[in-house]
Structure 1
Amino acid sequence: MKRSTDRRWSPAEIRQDQKEHYAGMAEHPPDRKASADFHRPAYPNYTVEDALKKWGVDTRKGVDAGGAEH
């Protein structure tokens, strides 16, 4: 069911609301902890060896060893 046109926002009203919202955010900068949380590395630097150890894979065996010790 469509909403009636008298309750919808016009594109100009939407833009004005966005401007007011972002203007309010600019007046109140984030605190240091929040800023530091957003300036951390995207992901930790793990090697393939680290990932295999985490998953419980025995890395001392060879790939083509068929499960036998080499």
Structure 2
Amino acid sequence: MNCRVCGTPLFIGRSAFRCSCGALTHSWCWDKHVLEAHKPSFTIGTVDLDGNFTPSEKANEVSPFEKETAHVR
């Protein structure tokens, strides 16, 4: 079996991640699979020493990807 992200073989006896969509990936390919295949919503910001999250001022801007796919939705 091959990794859905990079296409190289999954090694027997080594860790592999199985997504709820059925994709099998290497552990180092997992983040890329989730971001590309499922496109979760997220907010970019900073965390202070007290653990408070502050969104960046640019967080409300529309990304170039969203501009390109706006007509598809």
Identify the TM-score tier after normalising by the shorter chain.
Answer: under 0.3
TM-score (norm 2): 0.21
Judging by fraction of residues, say which structure has more strand.
2
Max Rg structure: 1
Judging by fraction of residues, say which structure has more helix.
1
